Amino acid sequence: MSTPSLAAGGIMKFAKVRYSCLGCKATLAPGDTTLCKHCRNKVICQMLDALGLLLGPFLLAFEDRCK
């Protein structure tokens, strides 16, 4: 299920500077320079976990979403 034009576009993208995710070392999408979407979500979840220790029940809904 691959078209030649899409493959060529992918190669062109790889010609640009690509950053690696600081968390999982995955190649980042163009525009991302630190964390991939997955790790960004994880960091947000960790922050919410830390906040959850302080704020308790208020953030339970967010923590549930991260699991």
Cα–Cα distance between 14 and 56 in angstroms, integer?
44
Distances (CA, A) of 32 to 12, 41, 64: 17, 14, 26
Residue 20, beta-bridge partner list: 27
- Minimum CB separation of residue 41 from Zn ion in Å reads 9
Q: Which is nearer to Zn ion, 26 or 59 (CB)?
A: 26
Give how many residues touch Zn ion by CB under 5 A.
6
Site for Zn ion in 23-62 (CB under 5 A): 23-24, 26, 36, 39
Beta carbon nearer to Zn ion, 7 or 24 = 24
Alpha-carbon span 32 to 12, nearest angstrom: 17
Residues in the site for Zn ion, rule: CB under 5 A? 21, 23-24, 26, 36, 39
